[in-house]
A and B are shown apart, each in its own frame.
Chain A
């Protein structure tokens, strides 16, 4: 067993008191071994740090989303007045919803689309390179951050790999990294070689999902363009535009 294996075993398996003592004695008496231990720990730490950065980015998105969803605080004296008004509005909304059960908000439309189409991604036995398949496996295993890293690495190395860009956009969206998702989908939309290119439609989905200032108008424009030119996603585009009218 070489040193690195010995060190790996020490940190990843239970040790007896004797094994611990032996390990510590080697550190004290063998500088080169101690350096290997220090390197092993540092490597692990650096990688964990990178993983944590990815995780924190995801948390940031969740937090921003939660903040947007939270109502602003109102003075206590006005609460009852607002509560009554809110009840009336809710009643009207419920009735309206019952009457027009097919209407939805842009965000709900995007959510439904994401749920139906991107909860998991198809792993086909196609000519796609193994590295892309691995990214898909990670995504389906609930590892969108690792999958995104994988897709981005492929897209970086091969700028013509539009599948990688498409999946990078989806993985970014799955983690609420809207700007990144829009970047990859707009890159995808630029590809003129694809027989059918969903780039513009995916941009619209992302904008609906984010629903920030100006997003819905921008998404509607994209959907109108898709519907008018019968581009990829035109069926959904037409339905959505009807429902949002």
Chain B
């Protein structure tokens, strides 16, 4: 099949290298990583009595979490990639089981909030966390849609791991500095939209 990318990258090293680069192979490497261990899904069904959809969710979240960590250089090759993924997968399955029994959901939370908060120590971290918890995320998502095409593109590319320099090439900006300034203006604009709406609602 033309889209079977598992044959394109063979070793863990190659796969990790391709995941870390913003080129054509990056997306293929993501698909190859996903395809390589899909049998974990069956394990989730057998060992943790999860439904197939739940086990699929746990596995997808595992892959996304791993990709994020690999890109950030947090995967240190101390264990084989498979072992590393399996450990994350088990944790996701346990999270799901907990969710099923206690109605708490942590499996669908993305890793970004904890990751960024890890860069702040307590008590500042707790202060920011409390402020985040008070925010209306649905409203923020809606305001993001109102932001305008080019702003959304800028923010999405940056969140997807592109550097300002790479974005400047993709979106034909004059320089990385211009991208950065524009990107920050977009966040300011989004904040303004969010606050105006909140004030008018409140």
For residue A92, CB closer than 8 A to chain B, the reply is no
For residue A150, CB closer than 8 A to chain B, the reply is yes
For residue A66, CB closer than 8 A to chain B, the reply is yes
Chain A residue at minimal CB-CB distance from B141: A46
For residue B80, CB closer than 8 A to chain A, the reply is no
Minimum CB–CB distance from B197 to chain A (whole Å) comes to 13
Interface size of B in residues (CB-CB distance below 8 Å): 58
Whether B131 and A51, one on each chain, are in contact in the complex, defined by CB atoms closer than 8 angstroms, is no
Say what secondary structure dominates the interface of chain A: helix
Whether B187 and A48, one on each chain, are in contact in the complex, defined by CB atoms closer than 8 angstroms, is no
| Residue interface bits B21-60, CB-to-A below 8 A is 1, else 0 | 0111111101100110010010000000000000011001
For residue B171, CB closer than 8 A to chain A, the reply is yes
Interface size of A in residues (CB-CB distance below 8 Å): 62
Whether A58 and B110, one on each chain, are in contact in the complex, defined by CB atoms closer than 8 angstroms, is no
For residue B196, CB closer than 8 A to chain A, the reply is no
Whether B34 and A59, one on each chain, are in contact in the complex, defined by CB atoms closer than 8 angstroms, is yes
For residue A44, CB closer than 8 A to chain B, the reply is yes
Contacts of B135 in A (CB 8 A): 38-39, 42
Whether B35 and A66, one on each chain, are in contact in the complex, defined by CB atoms closer than 8 angstroms, is yes
Contact for B2 among A34, A50, A111, A137, CB less than 8 A: A111
CA–CA, A42 and B187, complex, Å: 11
CA–CA, A62 and B32, complex, Å: 10
Minimum CB–CB distance from B179 to chain A (whole Å) comes to 12
Stretch among B9-17, B89-97, B98-106, B148-156 lining the A interface: B148-156
Whether A44 and B63, one on each chain, are in contact in the complex, defined by CB atoms closer than 8 angstroms, is no
| Residue interface bits B156-196, CB-to-A below 8 A is 1, else 0 | 11011000000000111000000010011001101100100
Whether A41 and B38, one on each chain, are in contact in the complex, defined by CB atoms closer than 8 angstroms, is no
30 A-B residue pairs with Cβ-Cβ distance under 8 Å, sorted by A, are: A4-B184, A8-B187, A15-B119, A20-B119, A20-B120, A24-B120, A24-B121, A25-B124, A27-B127, A37-B120, A37-B131, A38-B131, A41-B113, A41-B128, A42-B135, A43-B155, A48-B112, A55-B60, A62-B3, A62-B34, A63-B41, A131-B149, A134-B153, A140-B24, A141-B24, A142-B23, A142-B24, A146-B156, A146-B160, A174-B3
Going nearest first, the 4 A-B pairs with the smallest beta carbon separation are A38-B131, A24-B124, A27-B124, A111-B2
Give the interface of B toward A (CB within 8 A).
1-3, 22-28, 30-31, 34-35, 38, 41, 56-57, 60, 63-64, 110, 112-113, 116-117, 119-121, 123-124, 127-128, 131-132, 135, 137, 140-141, 144, 149, 153, 155-157, 159-160, 170-172, 180, 183-184, 187-188, 190-191, 194
Give the interface of A toward B (CB within 8 A).
2, 4-5, 8, 10-11, 15, 20, 23-25, 27-28, 34-52, 55-56, 58-60, 62-63, 65-66, 107, 111-112, 114-115, 130-131, 134, 137-138, 140-144, 146, 149-150, 153, 174, 176
